Amino acid sequence: MSKNIKQILQTLLFLGLGIFLVWFQINKLSDEGRQHVGDALREANYFWMVLSMVTAFISHYLRAIRWKLLINTIGYQVATKNSFYAVMIGYLVNGLVPRLGEVVRCGALGKKENIPVEKLIGTVVTARIVDLIFMLTIVGATILVQFNLISDFLNERIFSYVRASWEANAQTYMLLLAGGFILFILALFLLNRFIQTANSRFSTKINTIKNGLFEGMRSIFALKEKGRFLIYSTLMWVCYFFMSYFVFFSFDETSKLGFSEGLSVLTTGSLGIVAPVPGGLGSFHYLVSGNLQLYGISEPVGLSYSWLVWVAQFSVIIVVGLLSLFLISRNRKTIV
| 276-324 tens-digit pLDDT | 777 788 888 888 988 898 888 998 999 999 999 999 999 999 999 999 9
Q: How confident is the model at residue 274 (pLDDT cuts 50, 70, 90)?
A: confident
**Average pLDDT across the chain, whole number:** 82
Q: Is position 24 within any domain?
A: no
Structural domain count of the chain: 1
Stretch (H or E) spanning 177: helix 160-197
Q: Examine residue 173 and state whether it is found in any structural domain, yes or no.
A: no
Residue 335 has pLDDT above 70, yes or no: no
Is residue 288 in a domain?
yes
Q: Residue range 201-210: average pLDDT? A: 53
- Position 43 scores a pLDDT of 93
What pLDDT digit, counting tens, does each position of 32-59 carry?
Answer: 888 988 889 999 999 999 999 999 999 9
CB 272 within 8 A of CB 287: yes
On whether residue 199 sits in a domain, the answer given is no
Any domain includes 78: yes
Distance, in Å, from the CA atom of 260 to the CA atom of 252, rounded to the nearest integer, reads 18
Contacts of 114 (CB under 8 A, 6+ apart): none
Q: Is residue 121 part of a domain?
A: yes
Nearest of 317, 292, 318 to residue 304 by alpha carbon: 292
Highest mean pLDDT among 58-67, 89-98, 149-158, 189-198: 58-67
Does 23 reside within a domain? Answer: no
Residue 200 lies in a domain: no
Range of the domain at 267: 43-161+216-330
